[in-house]
Amino acid sequence: MSQLTRSEWEARAKTLNIEGRAFINGEYVPARSGATFECISPIDGRLLGLVASCGPADADFAVASARSAFESGVWSRQAPARRKAVMVHFSELLQAHAEELALLETLDMGKPISDALSVDLPGTIDSIRWCGEAIDKVYDEVAATPEDQLGLVTREPVGVVATIVPWNFPLMMASWKLGPALATGNSVILKPSERSPLTAIRIAQLALDAGLPAGVLNVLPGYGNTVGKALALHADVDALAFTGSTQVAKQLLVYAGESNMKRVWLEAGGKSPNIVFADAPDLQVAAEAAATAIAFNQGEVCTAGSRLLVQASIKERFVPMVVEAMKGWKPGHPLDPDTNVGALVDDRHLQGVLQYIQEGQRQGAQLLLGGHATGVETGGSYVEPTLFDNVSNSMSIAREEIFGPVLSVIEFDEAEDAVRIANDTPYGLAAAVWTADLSRAHKMARALRAGSVWVNLYDGGDMMAPFGGYKQSGNGRDKSLHAFDKYTEIKATWIQL
Ligand code: NAD
């Protein structure tokens, strides 16, 4: 990991070349309308640059480029081993530019530089490399036909894939789509969040440099209700892969229904329960994990452990341990390598988080830690990690995704109560259980309606494990070979011999 100091990062930030144009058909271009929007750093409110504000005309251009690249077969019909080589090279170029990309990510969305370097970049690089390396090791199927017939079950790329991603892990969320979509031979249009477009724009050039043919990866920065909507309604987009809020996810299903019934894959919000039983193997470890689960990445994590369910018999002892652990998470300058809590993505989001904190107090939850904006003099958007005790699962702080470092402690008595409370949510992304009882751990894992369940840890898994949600947390899975399902059609070819 880099040993740079804050002032060295700041010096680098001054010399960064920030590209804000769209990337279509292998080159950087302004939006057809010439429109731009300001890209502001949440670290200090500084203008980073102007970014192309793409619209429907740019979507048409990018879709046409993607379609033409797809039809030409230059990527879609390449031997898998060739696609592997390009993607592995792409991952190497990402690695070579890891510090530059981490710095862009931190400047753009406010996360600590140490996290950008140790989490976002390795996660991104791994996704591209893993999917590339996998693609020449997956086989199609031959059906168990009678002797005089042959049944082939083959996978083909779906065609033109649009992917719309959020701002919390801008590159990594994009890479969870780009890895499998590109490996399986599709052409892709990536729409980053208007709140964090810079790294997506930058890596388009690296992909081209790695040998990805022009038109196979296009990047369209801009707003959701303009270029995002245009892509979601586009008649020539075959699949839409989304990560973001449940509200927008639902709208995308409507757009697909109103247009060409494109496949819609959704990774949406969460309100994940982190359940601590009295027999947890080590309460100190559980307390520290509970703090990390809500404070890491400023709580701007879809799987944030935002509901801490604590068994009544240990609550009095355990909650102070969590409070102590959370005190170790302090907002600081994101370019300082020792900072573990950075800035929220922007002031609008900060105000939303503060409103939830007020709402929690109004509804009678007990504020034990934090609760305020901080670092106001910097011009940035910082909030104290916040803990509420005595929360009921019906309060809005327990029901709605705050997407900030705000933890709600909810008490339970027996395992059945924990399951009932944990599942009493519209979401189903993740859940964790802390217990030394093997049988209870398995029973809980079965009973919890969530795409990921962790036992005696929080936020486990890597590229080998599928990731996604039950209920209104989404459909389909990112990561692992299961992710390839989203980007391929299955064809049955039946032959009379
Ligand atoms: P968001 O839904 O506001 O925006 C996500 C993306 O959708 C952005 O690129 C935005 O421009 C675009 N968009 C907005 N309106 C649109 C429209 N009408 N048509 C097309 N596109 C539109 O979400 P966000 O605030 O960027 O991200 C936070 C959300 O993402 C949280 O709910 C979080 O839980 C979720 N998230 C989920 C996962 C997961 O894997 N399940 C991972 C990370 C984040």
Give the pLDDT band (50/70/90) at residue 1: low
For residues 251 and 344, membership in a common domain is answered with no
* Domain-terminating residue out of 240, 268, 296: 268
The answer to whether residue 267 is catalytic is: yes
The CATH number given to whatever domain includes residue 100 is: 3.40.605.10
Q: Beta-carbon neighbour count of residue 211 at 10 Å?
A: 15
- Cβ–ligand 1 distance for 297 under 6 Å, the answer no
Query: 19, 105, 267, 288: which is the annotated catalytic residue?
Result: 267
**pLDDT for the residue 6:** 98
| Structural domain containing residue 76 | 6-268
The CATH number given to whatever domain includes residue 378 is: 3.40.309.10
Lowest mean pLDDT among 1-5, 298-302, 372-376: 1-5
For residues 348 and 451, membership in a common domain is answered with yes
Average pLDDT over residues 85-101: 98
From the list 283, 287, 280, 251, the residue with the least C-alpha distance to 266 is 251
* Domain-terminating residue out of 268, 284, 313: 268
Residue at 432 is within a domain:
yes
From the list 324, 328, 329, 321, the residue with the least C-alpha distance to 284 is 321
Is the model's pLDDT at 324 over the cut of 80? yes
For residues 318 and 263, membership in a common domain is answered with no
Q: Which residue has a Cα nearest atom 9 of ligand 1?
A: 193
473/209 Cα distance (integer angstroms): 36
The string of pLDDT tens digits covering residues 221-246 is: 999 999 999 999 999 999 999 999 99
Residue at 483 is within a domain:
no
Q: Strand 406-412's sheet: what is its strand order?
A: 366-369, 386-389, 406-412, 307-311, 273-276, 430-434, 452-455
**pLDDT for the residue 360:** 98
- Cβ–ligand 1 distance for 193 under 6 Å, the answer yes
- Ligand 1 mean position to 306 CA, how many Å? 18
Give the pLDDT band (50/70/90) at residue 313: very high
* Domain-terminating residue out of 228, 243, 268: 268
Regarding pTM above 0.85, the answer is yes
Backbone angles phi, psi at 17, to 5 degrees: -95, 110
What rounded mean pLDDT belongs to the chain? Answer: 98
**pLDDT for the residue 311:** 99
Residue at 486 is within a domain:
no
- Ligand 1 mean position to 165 CA, how many Å? 6
Average pLDDT over residues 376-385: 95
For residues 278 and 172, membership in a common domain is answered with no
Residue at 429 is within a domain:
yes
Give the pLDDT band (50/70/90) at residue 57: very high
Q: Which residue has a Cα nearest atom 32 of ligand 1?
A: 245
The pair of structure tokens assigned to 14 is: 């001054």
User: What are the C-alpha distances in Å from 54 to residues 84, 114, 320, 493?
Assistant: 31, 32, 49, 41
For residues 277 and 197, membership in a common domain is answered with no
- Cβ–ligand 1 distance for 167 under 6 Å, the answer yes
Q: Which residue has a Cα nearest atom 16 of ligand 1?
A: 224
Percent of the chain past pLDDT 70, that is, above it, reads: 100
For residues 314 and 166, membership in a common domain is answered with no
For residues 165 and 257, membership in a common domain is answered with yes
For residues 216 and 345, membership in a common domain is answered with no
